[in-house]
């Protein structure tokens, strides 16, 4: 049976647009999650007065020490802000590229562009995963403390700060998941060019 070439080309074009649209939606949601992660982390700041007991026999039994915490005090938190900012900017560029691909269909960009997108999606996914893991460890120690290192569980005292940081980490893990799916879509687009 002979196939109609214009109809087949139309079907391939329609399919390529659907895949590009799926990639576009993934990247838009990833942008939103990256922005939310950066905002949550950058607003994680808390001032708390902690009562410190004085030796007996002094005029007062306690003195108030003001403790200030900020995301910038931890390299892991600065790393997660940097990584999610890079990922958000990359997702914005790729979303714009996806819009272009939807209008130009399967002919938009060649194999080189598809390889670059595939590899960049993978690198961004790994970057976000590493940042999330590093920040998760810091929050875990802040939540549970470390008896062997004599570190206190600071999240009991600095709850607002820890909630902001935890929200940022959750947003970053969600963005990591979306970039993982996006890398699958870009792999599909890449290896579809070889068929």
For all residues of the chain together, what is the average pLDDT? 82
Tell me the C-alpha distance between 158 and 166, whole Å: 12
Percentage, residues of the chain above pLDDT 90? 40
Question: At residue 4, does pLDDT exceed 70?
Answer: no
Q: Is the Cβ–Cβ distance between 78 and 44 less than 8 Å?
A: no
Question: At residue 11, does pLDDT exceed 80?
Answer: no
Residue with token string 């399967």: 106
- pLDDT tens digit sequence for 148-193: 877 777 888 888 888 999 999 999 999 999 999 999 988 888 887 7
Task: Supply φ then ψ for residue 157, to 5 degrees.
Answer: -85, -40
- pLDDT tens digit sequence for 129-142: 999 999 999 998 88
Tell me the C-alpha distance between 40 and 85, whole Å: 12
Tell me the C-alpha distance between 31 and 80, whole Å: 15
- pLDDT tens digit sequence for 83-101: 999 999 999 998 888 787 6
- Give whichever of 26-40, 53-67, 89-103, 137-151 has the largest mean pLDDT: 26-40
């Amino acid at each position: 049976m002979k196939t109609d070439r214009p109809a087949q080309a139309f079907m391939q074009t329609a399919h390529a647009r659907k895949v590009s649209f799926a990639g576009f939606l993934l990247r838009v949601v990833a942008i939103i999650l990256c922005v939310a992660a950066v905002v949550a982390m950058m607003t994680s700041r808390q001032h708390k007065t902690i009562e410190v007991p004085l030796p007996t026999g002094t005029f007062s039994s306690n003195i108030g020490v003001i403790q200030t915490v900020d995301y910038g005090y931890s390299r892991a938190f600065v790393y997660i802000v940097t990584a999610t900012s890079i990922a958000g900017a990359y997702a914005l560029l790729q979303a714009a590229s996806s819009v272009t691909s939807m209008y130009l269909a399967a002919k938009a960009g060649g194999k080189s562009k598809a390889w670059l997108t595939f590899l960049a999606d993978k690198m961004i996914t790994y970057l976000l995963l590493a940042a999330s893991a590093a920040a998760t460890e810091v929050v875990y120690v802040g939540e549970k403390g470390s008896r062997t290192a004599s570190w206190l569980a600071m999240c009991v005292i600095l709850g607002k700060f820890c909630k902001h940081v935890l929200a940022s980490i959750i947003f970053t893990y969600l963005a990591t998941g979306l970039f993982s799916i996006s890398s699958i879509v870009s792999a599909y687009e890449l290896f579809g060019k070889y068929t």
